[in-house]
Structure 1
Amino acid sequence: MAKEETELVWHYTDGGALMNILENNELWAGSAAFMNDMNELLSGSIQLRNHFEDQRRDLSEEVTQMLEEYIPEVKARSRDSFVLSASSDPDSLTMWRYYGRHQVSFAVGLDRSESLVPLARLEEDEHPNPPAGYGDDAIEYDEEGIPFRTYDPDDVFIEGGEWKSVVYDLKEQSEIITTVFEKLRDGVEKRLAPAEKGKLRVWLFPFFMNEDLDLIKNDGFRDELEERIIVWPNPAWKFVFHRTGPYGLVPYVKLTSLRGENIDPDEKRFATKAGRLPIREIRIGPTPYRVQATASLKQLLEFYGLHDIKVTCSEIPFRQ
């Protein structure tokens, strides 16, 4: 059944994170390479590699070599993908157990019809401290050996920002893998073909495929009913923040709405000032202190002037 535009997705979180969300109007999308689950965002890449191996005998050596660049054998999650997770279930026992082990947890109901955009950390248009060799991968050569730049590494380019449902069904996953592989092969074959005279042959790194691959997840997690926003912001220096974590300094992107007063009011790809998030409801997780938890949350919302956000409580009975 198709999802209605007014349907909510539910971002489960703890009290500390909820206060940051309400105060700063930002949600944090973490780097896929630093997620706690070591198998997260790998299923699609593994399936794509297996499909590639099945098709290898029908490919030319040149096409095979170039595809190796985009379908590596090493199973590594993309550092360019930033993921914000939620659920279509507003009262998930699985999610409450994960987030409510030691304190009251919350599910933030967000309007899925409103896109979220990265919040810029810097306003500059050029890298303030470019490292040696910055942008060298954007250099290619024409038929006469004359170098030309295929793109500007400081150009703002952002993909994603829409809520998408995670794919658990094996048949749907197979269809995604086949489509991604055919697009990759077509792109590689076109890039290997002789360039038309007088035209530049440009093909950016095909990270567009990552969103579809990153939506594939093992069927064993189906009860999470996960929804995801995946974003790929460029340039990284303009949008990527860092926080401490178990694996070192964890990159993340702040997502917000376009309701803030941006420096450029016509800019729709990112925000320079956070805008009010499309929060429609906040559900309090299972707790024996629901009266106190409800009163304090409503008081906090009142302090921020968020009078239109509905507060509800989990219907799952609490057990000590």
Structure 2
Amino acid sequence: MTDLGDAVKRNDGDDNLVWHYTSGAALKEIVTKHELWASNTAFMNDSRERRLADEYLVKAKNDLGKDFPKMLDSYIDHVGDWYDNLRFSSPHAPDGTRYLLSASKRGDSLTMWRGYAGTDEVSYAIGIDPTAPLSILAPPTDKQMNHRRKSDISPWFDVNYRPEDAERLAKEAVDRIVGLYRAPAATKEELEENISNVFNSIDEVTEPLRNTTKHQGFVHEEEVRIIVDADRSLTRYHSGRLGMVPYVVLTGSDDSSSPIVTSANKLPIRKIRMSPGPDRFFAIRSLLELLHANGYNYGHDQSEGGYSYDVEVLASEIPFR
């Protein structure tokens, strides 16, 4: 995975931010509560989310034919099914689940305005600093922080839309697994250690591929994302198009090193852009007031003879109506 704090270099005037597109109602909740929602990966609009990589892994295994160890054959065929159990409680899988927060590299994309923010009313793209850490906000009923397993938040990273890249990475993953399986062992203990290394490597080399591989039909979204691996006790639920969607709340980090906090902190929002439309003068003014009322301040800038803002508010330059 690529950390976008260093990797995103663009000359579009957007300061290397990542952009989360959303509706006006959702923006109000984000700004007033300092919350971003990362949703369970089973409830994405991409029906092959995380599972597309498994198709490439199975193909790479099949291409080896009889050279692929029979002992691992069915395991690779069904490893995606097993990891999907991480989304929900299962007696056969660890107690954890994966959540996804998506954004785009582009802060003024007609594809994103139409697909994710809506065009019936003013919508917004939130420019987030990808170098600033986020934390998981514990539910109000979970203030004791008695979590049964470690929870992690990845850095922002690119997704991969290129089938040839996914095919190559899947082949490299399978070759690595086979190489570990064939490692020489002089004793029974070494053999047992080798087998343990094989199964540990299946997680290590396939999970990143599963998180980054995306169908090329979504290429114009230019997606970047965060993956959250969280204890099930941190899960909340909201009603959505695909049912009751499990999610975790992300907020700004405090001074502690813990990935979990018990109170919300300001999010690393640097810019907000309004969707295409007519003159936005009064809409920009009212949004600045909303931001100011919720801790995103602005004041007189003596050096510039104007105002300085924690969050810059812009209007789309796309002539769409």
TM-score bucket of the superposed structures, by smaller chain: 0.7 to 0.9
Q: Which has the higher helix share?
A: 2
Gap change, CA 1:65 and 1:305, over 3 Å in 2: closer
- 1:106 counterpart (124, 135, 139): 124
- 8 Å contact 1:45–1:75 — kept in the other structure? no
Compute the displacement of 1:185 (Å).
Answer: 4.7
Deviation by residue 1:222-259 (Cα, 9 ceiling, x = unmatched): 221111111212x212x211111233321111112212
- 8 Å contact 1:49–1:71 — kept in the other structure? no
CA RMSD, Structure 1 to Structure 2 (Å): 3.3
Distance in 2, matches of 1:116 and 1:174, equals 32
- 8 Å contact 2:51–2:80 — kept in the other structure? no
Match of 1:236 in 2: 232
Distance in 1, matches of 2:266 and 2:189, equals 48
Q: Which residue type is aligned with residue 93 of structure 1? A: L
Distance in 2, matches of 1:194 and 1:173, equals 36
Q: Which residue type is aligned with residue 226 of structure 1? A: E
- 1:247 counterpart (210, 230, 242): 242
SS at match of 2:101: strand
Distance in 1, matches of 2:180 and 2:235, equals 29
- 2:208 counterpart (211, 229, 232): 211
SS at match of 2:263: coil
Compute the displacement of 1:294 (Å).
Answer: 0.9
- 8 Å contact 1:290–1:313 — kept in the other structure? yes
Is 2:135 the counterpart of 1:117? yes
- 8 Å contact 1:67–1:184 — kept in the other structure? no
Q: Which residue type is aligned with residue 279 of structure 1? A: I
- 8 Å contact 2:103–2:225 — kept in the other structure? yes
SS at match of 1:280: strand
Distance in 1, matches of 2:86 and 2:226, equals 15
Compute the displacement of 1:292 (Å).
Answer: 2.6
Farther-moved stretch of structure 1 (308-317 vs 270-279):
270-279
How do 1:1-320 and structure 2 match up within 5 A?
A: 2-4=7-9, 7-72=16-81, 79=87, 80-98=97-115, 99-121=117-139, 122-124=142-144, 126=146, 154-158=148-152, 160-185=153-178, 194-195=188-189, 206=203, 209-233=206-230, 235-237=231-233, 239-259=234-254, 265-267=256-258, 269-307=259-297, 308-319=310-321
Q: Which residue type is aligned with residue 275 of structure 1? A: N
Q: Which residue type is aligned with residue 155 of structure 1? A: R
SS at match of 1:51: helix
- 8 Å contact 1:118–1:255 — kept in the other structure? yes
Structure 2: 5+ residue stretches without partners: 1-5, 88-96, 298-309
Distance in 2, matches of 1:213 and 1:185, equals 19
Compute the displacement of 1:17 (Å).
Answer: 0.8
Distance in 2, matches of 1:9 and 1:229, equals 11
Compute the displacement of 1:126 (Å).
Answer: 4.9
Gap change, CA 1:42 and 1:194, over 3 Å in 2: same
Distance in 2, matches of 1:97 and 1:221, equals 13
SS at match of 1:81: strand
Gap change, CA 1:272 and 1:305, over 3 Å in 2: closer
Distance in 1, matches of 2:242 and 2:288, equals 36
SS at match of 2:19: strand
Match of 1:147 in 2: none
Q: Which residue type is aligned with residue 168 of structure 2? A: E
Q: Which residue type is aligned with residue 16 of structure 1? A: A
Distance in 2, matches of 1:213 and 1:110, equals 25
- 8 Å contact 1:116–1:161 — kept in the other structure? no
Match of 1:146 in 2: none
Number of corresponding residues: 283
Deviation by residue 1:197-231 (Cα, 9 ceiling, x = unmatched): 9x9x6866827733332221222322211111112
Q: Percent identity?
A: 33
- Superposition TM-score, scaled by structure 1 size: 0.76
Compute the displacement of 1:106 (Å).
Answer: 0.2
